[in-house]
Structure 1
Amino acid sequence: MTAQDRTGGLPGYAGHFEEPEGYLDFARYGPPSRDVLDATAQALADSARATHSTVDDLMRAEPRAREAAARLAGTDPGHIVLLPNTSTGLFHAAFGITGGTVLVPSGEFPSNRYPWQRAAELGRAVPRLLEPDQRGLITPDTVREALTGPGAGDVVAVALSAVDFRTGHRADLAAIREVIGDRLFVVDAIQGFGVADLPWQAADVVVTGGQKWLRAGWGTGFAALSDRALERLDPVLTGWTGVEDAGLFDDREHPPAAGAQRWSITNLSPVTAAAFAAALELVERSGVPAIEEHITTRVAQLIDTVLACGGEVLSPVAPEQRAGIVSFRIPGTDPRLVAKALHGYEVTPTVRADSLRLSAHASTPLAAVDRVHAALNSLR
């Protein structure tokens, strides 16, 4: 038994959380840490006793969160903007491209489909579906093929998920960057940021929400923009907080801010900023490689358990191709019945019409795997 198993999770990390040991739905929502709860409670308590300095004091949480996000993304705070969710960032990116074609994988989560459709309706960039290979995966080869066929010359950007929400397959961001060359590369990072040690600098736009694997709660997130993105994307949705001299109210239109702050529409909640900063700093202290190592171990154990119980695994089996998600089905058994069995053993999965999804984090103990094994065995 490893130290990770004895402590119930990654030492120094798992002790910050208190979700039930059978919770395996982090790809949908990550229960926040006590650090996040304490930061939220403190910010709210301070706001309830407001004085002349309270608002300014609370607003200091935003640059703190930006700095932590920048360190984790491998950039600087000037290339980071806080956002309330992933979708807001994707709409900024979609509306910012003036024309041309954007490759978007079929089967993408809808948050990476609607922004491009809405932009096309306004006469801006037009999305074109990027079809996966015979395994259902988006790879550098599938992108290369799409860029050598008819209409390839019109492609100005590629937008995809770093980790597929259905299967947990992780995209080879570095190789895809090489394939697309100087085109814009937009990455939805919500299923991988903070738990998968990926080369985020390969992308021009990295967008994530904080409510899943970062475990910061709802209303948190950020975007990291490269110099190429800042140069080419029109700041169509810039609000009053996204301009130069935002605090100067002189009844004149100010130019967009020089850095990523130009994607700001208005002030966000300093309470959620404090929560986000606490969550990001916990990831920093624990280290993404250590978090990823623990998740990799648990995912391998879950895959072995599903296979041993007669299940069909829909996620990649090779560790280098997957992140924290295990999608599966039990042949001949309605997923709702499988879910009922899992619930009976106090396991929380994601339930789909044709499959189930288990997603483990660095606080997930070995006992969670045992519960899944017992639940699936009960179906036999």
Structure 2
Amino acid sequence: MTAELDDYLASFAEPTGYLNFGSYGPPSRAVVETIGRLTAAASTGVPSAGLHAEDDNALAAVARLTGFDRGAVVLTPSTSFGLLQIAFGLPRGAVLVSSAEFPSNLYAWWRAQDAGLTTVRTLRAVPGDELAPVTPERVAASLTPDTVAVAVSAVDFRTGVRADLAGIRSAIGDRLLVVDGIQAFGVVDTDWTLADALVVGGQKWLRAGWGTGFVALSPRGLARLRPILGGWTGVERSAHYDGVPHEPFPGAQRFSTTNGSPFASGALATALAQLESVGVAAVQRRIESTASAFIGRLLAADLPVLSPLPSHERAGLVVVGIAHGNARSVHERLDAAGVTATVHGDDRIRFSMHATTTPAALDAALAVLAEPA
């Protein structure tokens, strides 16, 4: 273990049994200290321009970690808001999306359809498998002449399946590829520039806290997406209060709506700097090792694993099937034992582990899961 990784791991303090990073990743001490420092500075009347230097720090880090140009990224307070901006800015036509997506990746398109701006088409279903993964083959079979965009999550929130972004990119040709990266960015080392719009919230795997996130756009995305929900900070000469509309910025900043929170920008910049200090690949390797160990022990205990077994097909989510519809009661026992996870319906519980997850967390979860129903 390197000194950088030691420092990274030591900066976090979540409870031992915390296995719920797919819902929320507790921030590091460094992130908390950054928010405190910026809040204290704001309370003394430090000029806002100084505080908003954190915006540039965050955007520069996003560009480095995504591979997108600095001018092609913009901050957003959440994945949901970023997706809404993309949905309302689509060219006229249809967007293709799976009905099994997380709601934020559905309501954005539904609301744009309600506004008369797009048409939503759902991926063709797989008979008998409502949670079938989004594959290049399914996407290709569902495309129609009016499809202008395809929306997909990089990692499925229910199953942990990683999408084949390269395959989907090839299947859709010149259409826009919109990627919800919240369950993958920061823990999956991949080519994010395959996306035309990458939307990521920072409160989960990036461990930056709520109110943090970004949108990154390809040249194709910048050329075709309109800043319908862009505001006064997304235009040239925004400080000229002359009562007339100004031209949007040429880059992704055109999607800015107003001055954001420098506390959120600082939190994101700090979280990304910590991630850069060890590298995404190192974090991914630790998570894959821990998840594989957990899966091996689940299978040895004859407990059904509903996530992919090969590490290259999943990220940090491991879903366990629960017999007899007892998921909620098992979830309550996990909670009583100090294990935090997510219950999905009556028959499955989702565990999600980060680089900081220890064997003791797995021990605690398995002790409950192995109990008689």
TM bracket, shorter-chain basis: over 0.9
1:170 paired to 2:162: yes
- What's the offset of the Cα at 1:76? 2.0
- Mapping for residues 98-113 of structure 1, pairs under 5 Å: 98-113=91-106
2:52 corresponding residue in structure 1: 59
Output the amino acid matched with 1:259: G
1:30 corresponding residue in structure 2: 25
1:50 corresponding residue in structure 2: 45
1:21 corresponding residue in structure 2: 16
- Mapping for residues 249-264 of structure 1, pairs under 5 Å: 249-264=241-256
- What's the offset of the Cα at 1:10? 5.3
- What's the offset of the Cα at 1:357? 0.5
1:190 corresponding residue in structure 2: 182
Alignment partner of 1:230: what SS?
Answer: helix
1:369 paired to 2:350: no
- The CA distance in 2 between the partners of 1:176 and 1:361, in whole Å, is 27
- The CA distance in 2 between the partners of 1:100 and 1:76, in whole Å, is 27
CA contact (8 A) 2:322 2:349 kept: no
More divergent stretch after superposition (137-146 vs 126-135): 126-135
- The CA distance in 1 between the partners of 2:365 and 2:290, in whole Å, is 12
- What's the offset of the Cα at 1:251? 2.6
Cα-to-partner distance string for 1:3-32 (whole Å, 9 max, x where unaligned): 59xx9x953321110001110000000000
1:311 pairs, out of 303, 313, 320, with 303
Unmatched tracts of structure 1, length 5 or more: none
Identity of aligned residues (%): 47
CA contact (8 A) 1:345 1:374 kept: no
1:208 corresponding residue in structure 2: 200
CA contact (8 A) 2:91 2:148 kept: no
- What's the offset of the Cα at 1:175? 1.3
Cα-to-partner distance string for 1:179-198 (whole Å, 9 max, x where unaligned): 11100000000000111112
- What's the offset of the Cα at 1:249? 2.3
CA contact (8 A) 1:341 1:379 kept: no
Output the amino acid matched with 1:198: T
1:248 paired to 2:240: yes
- The CA distance in 2 between the partners of 1:339 and 1:307, in whole Å, is 19
2:330 corresponding residue in structure 1: 338
Alignment partner of 2:183: what SS?
Answer: coil
Cα-to-partner distance string for 1:88-144 (whole Å, 9 max, x where unaligned): 111111111132111001210010111111111222211111135557111111111
2:343 corresponding residue in structure 1: 351
2:139 corresponding residue in structure 1: 143
- The CA distance in 1 between the partners of 2:73 and 2:151, in whole Å, is 19
Cα-to-partner distance string for 1:313-371 (whole Å, 9 max, x where unaligned): 11111111101101112222501221123223311111122211000001111111111
Output the amino acid matched with 1:241: T
Output the amino acid matched with 1:112: N
2:61 corresponding residue in structure 1: 68
- The CA distance in 1 between the partners of 2:117 and 2:48, in whole Å, is 39
Alignment partner of 1:113: what SS?
Answer: helix
**TM score, norm. by length of structure 1:** 0.93
More divergent stretch after superposition (349-358 vs 307-316): 307-316
1:121 paired to 2:114: yes
1:11 corresponding residue in structure 2: 6
CA contact (8 A) 1:311 1:331 kept: no
Output the amino acid matched with 1:226: S
- Mapping for residues 283-298 of structure 1, pairs under 5 Å: 283-298=275-290
Alignment partner of 2:320: what SS?
Answer: strand
Change in 2 beyond 3 A, CA 1:315/1:215: same
More divergent stretch after superposition (346-355 vs 102-111): 346-355
1:360 corresponding residue in structure 2: 353
What is the root-mean-square deviation of aligned Cα atoms in Å? 1.7
- The CA distance in 1 between the partners of 2:361 and 2:216, in whole Å, is 34
Alignment partner of 2:357: what SS?
Answer: coil
- The CA distance in 1 between the partners of 2:63 and 2:93, in whole Å, is 30
CA contact (8 A) 1:169 1:322 kept: yes
Cα-to-partner distance string for 1:137-192 (whole Å, 9 max, x where unaligned): 11111111113xxxx11111100101100011010111111111100000000000
- The CA distance in 1 between the partners of 2:358 and 2:39, in whole Å, is 32
Change in 2 beyond 3 A, CA 1:333/1:118: closer
- The CA distance in 2 between the partners of 1:42 and 1:266, in whole Å, is 23
Alignment partner of 2:41: what SS?
Answer: helix
- What's the offset of the Cα at 1:252? 2.3
CA contact (8 A) 1:10 1:363 kept: no
1:325 paired to 2:325: no
CA contact (8 A) 1:205 1:225 kept: yes
Output the amino acid matched with 1:49: T
2:216 pairs, out of 203, 216, 224, with 224
CA contact (8 A) 1:173 1:198 kept: no
Unmatched tracts of structure 2, length 5 or more: none
- The CA distance in 2 between the partners of 1:21 and 1:184, in whole Å, is 42
